[in-house]
Every structure is written in C-alpha cells, then in structure tokens.
Amino acid sequence: MSLVLLQISDPHFGTEQAPVVNALLAFARAQAPDLVVLSGDITQRATRAQFAAARAFVDSLGAPAVMALPGNHDIPLYALGTRLLNPYGRYRKAFGADLEPVFESHDCLAIAVNTTRWYRHADGEVSATQVEQVAARLTRAAPQQLRIVAVHQPVTVTLPEDAANLLRGRDRAVARWAEAGADLVLGGHIHLPFVRPLHESFPASARTLWAVQAGTALSTRVRSGAPNSVNLIRYAPRSDDARQCTVERWDCAADAMRFELAATQTLSLASTSTPTHGD
C-alpha cells in the first residue's frame, strides 16, 4: 500500500484564476490523491459566495478524503459583528463543524490544528493545550503511519521579511510534536513553497521533523519567483527502519494550462523505534 497526499494551500477564493482552477482540477483527477489537505486561507474575505465557490471546487476534485483547516482570511474581517459573535460560522457551513479534523488510514495519521484567532488579524498561535492534545494523538500512531500535523501559519521561514508571520508558540510545538513522533508539519500563509529540516533549526527537537510549506494554489496573490503551486506527498511504508517520503512541488505553467513538476525532495524520516516521551 502507498499514500498520495495533495496539499492545497491559500487558494483565496475570490481572487482565484479560472484557468489555474481548471488546471488544478485536471491535475488532481490525474494524480488521484488519497487525501487532500487544505491548509488555510481557503477564501479571500470569508464571504458566503467565496465559501460556496471553494466548496464546489473541493467537491469537483473527487478526492476520497479532504482535511481542511481555517486560515486567518477565513474569518470575516469587515463584518465585525460576525467576527466577534460567530467567526467560524461561514467556514463551518462550508467545511464542517470540526475546526481541527483528523484523518487516519493504514498509512497515514494527519492532524489539523486551528492556529487562527478571531482577535488577531493575521498572526497565528498554538496554545499549550493544543500542543499537548496533538502530542497525545501522535503517540498513539501506528508504526507504519506517516504522521503529519497541519497548521496555517509557518513554524519556520527562509526570508527575514517573513519572520513576522511565524506561528506563536512554535518552539514548544515543534519540540513536543517531534518528541511525540511527528514526521511533517504542513503550513501555508506566506505563499512561498519550501521544505526545511526543523531538527536542524530547533535545538530542542530531538527527532527528525520536516517543515513542508506550500505556495498559493490558485490566487492572483503570488509572490515574485513563486508561481501558483501545490505539493504532492508520496509515502510507502517499509518493513525496515529506512523510512522516507517524497515531496513534489508542482507549479502552474506560465500559460496557466497545466501544473508541471518543479522540484522533488526525498525526506528521510525517523525510525519507528525512536523512543518518545513516556516510553
């Protein structure tokens, strides 16, 4: 058995480009992922129309499983009463009541963490309670499972100008989730795709752990040098300790007619026999 996971982040419906939408639909149908992860900022301004368009797009993917989590743009910004009294109402109508869903299969455990807060405009945070809840679930994972935590705001960045977007509480989270057995932390928010080894930049991380950041999938809000893109993660469990997964970045071609393979990275994962907290 093997797992194919498609990470779609920051589509910002309301600013989507129709040719890119069509190209991504064709790509997703061709790749037939087992799981689609929507890592936040699904809409641009959290309007009912934008959520309806996003839901229709997700339904058109035909994926057997979808795990979505909100981004800061998925909370109404200008409808102040709604933001205060029912900040996730429109999101829940489109993507379900659970803001922190969990996906589990024979080969994968994926845990969504809601890092948005109604009282913050863009910044994200993860609480000590959330950190421990995720860690507790990770420790119950089966040895063969790829263990993924999905957040919206990044736990690491590569450019100084993105430092202000870092997730609050990330130091505690990265160390604890690594200890509990996480393999990947998926993120978005900054529209810049990259893969980085968290175990090298977080001294308290005693286990191999990778950050996998996605660009904006569909929006006009691309960054210089970073076109619309998505990540495809492939994983096949092994009977030995040489665990690994492959992360492919697929960029939308300049003519916006198709997604093309732009980069491939094979990531070594920690042995399933690595001790975790409480062993």
pLDDT at residue 83, rounded to an integer:
74
H helix runs in the chain, sequence order:
18-31, 48-61, 80-85, 89-95, 128-138, 170-180, 198-201
Residue 274, pLDDT score = 43
What distance in Å separates the CA atoms of residue 232 and residue 263, rounded to the nearest whole number? 10
Residues 140-156 pLDDT 10s: 999 999 999 999 999 99
Full-model pTM: 0.94
**Percent of the chain residues topping a pLDDT of 70:** 95
* Domain range list for the chain: 3-268
Q: Tell me whether residue 92 is exposed, middle or buried, using C-beta atoms within 10 angstroms of its C-beta: 0 to 12, 13 to 18, 19 or more.
A: middle
Gap between the Cα atoms of 93 and 131, Å rounded: 26
Residues 6 or more apart from 244 whose CB is under 8 A from it?
238, 266, 267, 268, 269
pLDDT-based confidence at residue 277 (cuts at 50, 70, 90): very low
Q: How far apart are CA 247 and CA 179, in angstroms?
A: 22
Q: Which fold has domain 3-268?
A: Purple Acid Phosphatase; chain A, domain 2 (3.60.21)
pLDDT at 242: 83
Question: How many residues are given for the chain?
Answer: 279
Position 275 pLDDT exceeds 70: no
pLDDT at 28 over 90: yes
Nearest 5°: phi and psi at 80? -65, -35
- Position 272 scores a pLDDT of 64
How much is the pLDDT for 239? Answer: 66
| Residue 74 CB contacts under 8 Å (≥ 6 apart), including other chains | 40, 41, 42, 43, 46, 88, 90, 91, 116
Distance of alpha carbon 7 from the chain centroid = 6
pLDDT at 82: 74
Residues in Cβ contact with 13 at an 8 Å cutoff, skipping those fewer than 6 apart:
42, 43, 44, 50, 51, 53, 54, 57, 218
**Sorting pLDDT into bands at 50, 70 and 90, what band is 134?**
very high
Q: Are 210 and 233 in contact (CB under 8 A)?
A: no
**Closest to 10 in 3D by CA, of 29, 37, 30, 49:** 37
Q: What is the Cα–Cα distance from 36 to 173, expressed in whole angstroms?
A: 23
CA neighbours closer than 13 Å in the CB half-sphere of residue 86: 8
Mean pLDDT, range 263-271, rounded to an integer: 94
pLDDT digits (tens, 9 = 90+) for 79-127: 676 777 788 999 999 999 999 999 999 999 999 999 999 888 889 999 9
Of residues 206 and 167, which shows the higher confidence score? Answer: 167
Share of the chain above pLDDT 90, in %: 84
Q: Would you say 14 and 43 are in contact if contact means Cβ atoms under 8 Å apart?
A: yes
Higher-scoring residue by pLDDT: 228, 203: 228
> Of 71, 85, 77, which Cα lies nearest the Cα of 116?
71
- Both tokens of 85, joined, read 């009294």
Looking at residue 240, its pLDDT comes to 67
Q: Whose structure tokens read 């129309």? A: 49
CA distances for 22 relative to 168, 198, 217, 220, 244, angstroms: 36, 34, 12, 15, 32
Start-to-end Cα distance in the chain = 29
pLDDT band of residue 1 (cuts 50, 70, 90) is low
